[in-house]
A and B are shown apart, each in its own frame.
Chain A
Amino acid sequence: GAGVSQTPSNKVTEKGKYVELRCDPISGHTALYWYRQSLGQGPEFLIYFQGTGAADDSGLPNDRFFAVRPEGSVSTLKIQRTERGDSAVYLCASSPGQGGSPLHFGNGTRLTVT
Chain B
Amino acid sequence: GDSVTQMEGPVTLSEEAFLTINCTYTATGYPSLFWYVQYPGEGLQLLLKATKADDKGSNKGFEATYRKETTSFHLEKGSVQVSDSAVYFCARRAGAGSYQLTFGKGTKLSVIP
Contacts and interface: CB of A to CB of B under 8 A. Distances in A.
Contacts of A99: 95-99
A20 interface: no
Interface in B36-54: 36, 41-46, 49, 51
A107 B42 contact: yes
Contact of A43 (B51, B97, B103): B103
A88 interface: no
A23 B30 CA distance: 31
Contacts of B32: 100
Q: Which of B41, B46, B99 has the most CB of A within 10 A?
A: B99
A103 interface: yes
Interface residues of B, number: 25
B105 interface: yes
B99 A41 contact: no
Given A102-B49, A107-B43, A45 B105 contact: no
Interface string B76-113: 00000000000001010001111111111110000000
Interface of A: 3-4, 31, 33, 35, 40-45, 48, 55-56, 91, 93, 95, 99-100, 102-103, 105-108
Given A31-B99, A91-B43, A107-B42, 15 more contacts: A3-B43, A35-B101, A40-B105, A40-B106, A41-B105, A41-B106, A42-B89, A42-B103, A56-B100, A93-B44, A100-B96, A105-B36, A106-B43, A107-B41, A108-B43
